[in-house]
C-alpha cells in the first residue's frame, strides 16, 4: 500500500516537472542573446575585473589571491568544526552523567525494596 502511494506521488511529480519544462521551452526559445545576458560579466567577472583594475590586483597574482581567500575560508571552517566538536563533547558528558544518575536511582530503589 505504501509503495503504491509513493509510486503515485513520484508519477505525479514527474508529470508536473515535464509540464513545467514543456511550458518554459517555448518561452526560452523566443529569448534573444541580450535577454540571456550573454556577453555581460557575471558577479565573479565583475569582482575580478575590479580587483585587476585596482593597485592591489596588479601586485597580487590571481593564484595568490585565491590561495589567501581559500586559506582564510579553511581557518573559518576549522574554527566552526572545533566549536561543534566541543558542543558534541559537552552533550556526551551530559548524557553519561544522566546515565550514571539513572543507574544510581535504580540501585537505590532496589536497596529500599530489600
Classify burial at 22, counting beta carbons within 10 Å of its beta carbon; exposed 0-12, middle 13-18, buried 19 or more: exposed
CA dihedral for 22, 24, 28, 31, sign (positive or negative): positive
What was the pLDDT predicted at 63?
78
Nearest-5° Cα angle at 66, 62 to 69: 140
Whether residue 106 is predicted with pLDDT greater than 80 in this model: the reply is no
pLDDT tens digits along 4-58: 999 999 999 999 999 999 998 888 788 776 666 655 566 767 777 776 666 555 5
Rounded CA gap, 106 and 96, in Å?
15
Q: Which domain holds residue 89?
A: 42-114
What was the pLDDT predicted at 84?
96
What letter does residue 39 receive in the DSSP assignment?
A: T
- Please compute the mean of the pLDDT values over residues 50-69 and round it to a whole number: 70
What are the phi and psi torsion angles at 19 (to 5°)?
-65, -45
Whether residue 86 is predicted with pLDDT greater than 90 in this model: the reply is yes
Q: Tell me how many domains the chain contains.
A: 1
What was the pLDDT predicted at 66?
82
Q: Is residue 107 part of a domain?
A: yes
Q: Is residue 64 part of a domain?
A: yes
Amino acid at each position: 500500500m505504501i509503495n503504491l502511494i509513493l509510486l503515485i506521488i513520484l508519477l505525479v511529480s514527474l508529470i508536473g516537472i515535464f509540464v513545467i519544462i514543456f511550458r518554459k521551452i517555448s518561452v526560452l526559445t523566443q529569448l534573444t542573446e541580450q535577454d540571456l545576458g550573454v556577453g555581460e560579466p557575471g558577479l565573479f567577472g565583475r569582482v575580478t575585473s575590479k580587483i585587476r583594475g585596482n593597485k592591489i590586483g596588479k601586485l597580487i597574482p590571481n593564484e595568490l589571491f585565491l590561495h589567501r581567500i581559500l586559506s582564510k575560508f579553511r581557518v573559518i571552517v576549522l574554527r566552526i568544526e572545533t566549536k561543534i566538536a566541543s558542543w558534541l563533547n559537552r552533550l556526551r558528558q551530559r548524557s553519561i552523567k544522566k546515565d550514571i544518575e539513572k543507574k544510581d536511582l535504580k540501585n537505590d530503589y532496589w536497596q529500599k525494596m530489600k
